[in-house]
Amino acid sequence: MAGTTTTLTVSIGRAETVINTAAALGYSVPFFATIDSETVEVLAGTGGTACVIRRGANLTTPTGHNAGATITPLAATLS
């Protein structure tokens, strides 16, 4: 299944590690995605709309994100 761009349904703070999405992301875990300008690693839960993430991947800074922020799965694997 190809990855799906979706949005956050609930705002998150910079330390939260569970996100709620409007649609399933559609990749096998683990994989990377961006929320605004932050890169996160999605670790679990991509078959539904709740995902466990690792914040601040690829040397980005964890930051808060508003409901409606776009979540974009990344096609390439990051180190």
Q: Where are the domains of the chain?
A: 6-37+46-73
pTM comes to: 0.86
Whether 79 shows a pLDDT value over 70: the answer reads no
Q: Which residues have a Cβ under 8 Å from the Cβ of 71 and sit 6 or more positions away?
A: 5, 6, 7, 8, 19, 21, 25, 33, 34, 35
Spatial distance between the Cα atoms of 25 and 47, rounded to a whole number of angstroms: 7
What is the model's pLDDT at position 1? 43
Give the count of alpha carbons within 13 A of 21, CB side only. Answer: 28
Per residue in 1-53, pLDDT (tens digit) is: 456 789 999 999 999 999 999 998 878 889 999 999 999 999 998 677 899 99
